[in-house]
Amino acid sequence: MRKILLAIILLTWYLPSQGQVLMVDFSFDEVCLGQTTHFISHCYIADTSGHPLDSITSVAWDLKGDGKFNDGNDTINSVVFTSPGVHNVGLRAITRNGLAKALYKLVPVNYLRPVFSSKSSCYQQPVTFTNKTEIQGDTTVYYLWKFGDGQISAEKNPKHSFADSGHYSVVLYASFLTGCEDSVRHTVVVPDFPSLVVEFSGDTILKQGDSLFASLQGTYDSVIWSTKATSYTIMIKKAGYYSVMAYKNSCSGQAGFTVTVREPGPEPVISNIFTPNGDGHNDLWEILNLSDFKPCQVNVFDRYGTEVFSSSDYKNDWNGSFNGKQLANDTYYYFVRCYDGVTYKGNVNILK
């Protein structure tokens, strides 16, 4: 009878008892891509029956999320994940009496790569910085900008005004609360206002009837004159103040000048420019009030001394041709000899 009773007691000890629950859990540290994730199992048997406790005989890990618990059998395990994002990790525990239970958790692997772009402006005008940092996992990101001029900012998308033009090494630092961080550096060019140079085909003090060509030197993104012209060169025949504004790399520069037209005096007013291109505007060489000095002999020569035009009764009808062909764009020299013996001489430019 004693032996039978002992056998019953031993059988009760080793058989699973009602009221005993296998608890499976594990903890892990949150890391960034390239770092090691450490796992610690927390498995135990909870008992409310008062019977002798069962015992855990093995634990097994599924670190790949493939449903196979063959990635380690230690209480503590670790892995370096090769891709960012959320990974499904499982832990299974088995007791001596055959109880088994598994638990899966989503394990994040954070990733960030700082990226930014900038829209340059002239110095003393704001440069806009656009933060394009690539993020996976943790959404709490801290930023620090160093603009290369001693100034910093913690804004995500700051605007910054540089005190001087030049090249600035701008650095963006990005970090997670978990301690992961990275940085990127770019050179930002802050241009100066362009200095405009205007050249003239002659003096800005004109005789009445003369013309003047003003030409903006250099290369720009766009040009606009006070006359609304958008070309690099304009022709001026009237007195007044003229200005030009040019834009380059988001910066603008401006230049201006005054043209004066002298009132007609006791001499012919001889145009120094005409444009015989057939557009019906300024196609003929004009000598104003020549009738007040008639008779006059008019002769025009090229730079080699060849006479290209001659008239003893000029009627403002020369279109810049010689022997039936249009002359090339160049400077030509005129002589106007009138009845009083006075000779008026100068140069006239043909521009088409």
Output the six-digit token pair for 226. Answer: 């006070």
Tell me, which fold does domain 269-350 have in CATH?
A: Immunoglobulin-like (2.60.40)
Farthest-apart Cα atoms in the chain, separation: 164
Specify the CATH number for 197-262; select among 3.50.50.60, 2.60.40.10, 3.10.20.30, 3.90.226.10.
Answer: 2.60.40.10
- Residues ≥6 apart with Cβ < 8 Å to 257: 198, 204, 214, 241, 242, 243
Domain with CATH 2.60.40.10 in the chain: 2-109, 114-190, 197-262
288 close to 209: Cβ distance less than 8 angstroms: yes
Q: What is the pLDDT of residue 195?
A: 86
Q: Is the dihedral of CA 324, 328, 329, 330 positive or negative?
A: negative
| 70 vs 211, residue with greater confidence | 70
pLDDT in tens, 207-218: 777 889 999 999
Residue whose C-alpha is closest to residue 251's, from 192, 198, 163:
192
* pLDDT of residue 184 exceeding 90: yes
Runs of H (alpha helix) within the chain: 2-14
Instruction: Give 348's pLDDT tier (boundaries 50, 70, 90).
Output: very high
CATH fold label, 2-109: Immunoglobulin-like (2.60.40)
234-257 pLDDT, tens per residue? 999 999 999 999 998 778 889 999
Q: Which fold has domain 114-190?
A: Immunoglobulin-like (2.60.40)
pLDDT for residue 292: 80
Separation CA 349–CA 276 (nearest Å): 11
The Cα 164–Cα 141 span in angstroms is 31
Judge whether 129 and 56 are in contact, CB under 8 Å: no
Can you tell me the mean pLDDT for 152-180? 92
